[in-house]
Amino acid sequence: MEKILENTLLYDFYGELLTEKQRKLFEMHFYDDLSLGEIGDIEGISRQGVSRQLKRGEEALREYEDKLRLVEKFLKIKEKTEAMTVILEDIQREKPEESGKIDRLKDIASSIVDLI
């Protein structure tokens, strides 16, 4: 998984467990796309200090995932529900008279991912 995508997924699941400072720096870097130097200037700390804080935050997020596996489970559920949707779409093409029921099943599959 691409590092940025991985970090943002980990943050979505475990970000609230980081310190306020780590959350702020993480959001500035990964969501606002600011460089380490820009963040350092805004926060009044060195580029190296920003880098250390981000690394600590990333390590903490990975430790949470190693223990809880929420992102891993989410991705597996998403993959399975997408596979279900593909199968349902095949059935819908074969049996258009069942479209109402199949649409409902696709909605349920989609809502499962939204629950997580």
Last residue of a domain, one of 37, 52, 68: 68
93 and 54 belong to one structural domain? no
33 and 77 belong to one structural domain? no
User: pLDDT tens, 57-116?
Assistant: 999 999 999 999 999 999 999 999 999 999 999 999 999 999 899 999 999 998 988 887
Does 1 score more than 60 pLDDT?
no
User: pLDDT tens, 2-39?
Assistant: 888 899 999 999 999 999 999 999 999 999 999 999 99
16 and 40 belong to one structural domain? yes
What is the C-alpha to C-alpha distance for residues 56 and 18, in angstroms, rounded to an integer? 9
- CATH code: domain of residue 32: 1.10.10.10
Query: 26-31 long-range CB contacts below 8 Å, 24 or more apart?
Result: 26/54, 26/57, 29/54, 30/4
The answer to whether the beta carbons of residues 71 and 10 sit under 8 Å apart is yes
Domains held by the chain: number? 2
**Torsion angle in degrees (nearest 10) through CA of 8, 13, 18, 21:** 40
Give me the helix-helix angle, 70-94 and 99-115, nearest 10°: 170
**Residue 61 sits in which domain range?**
3-68
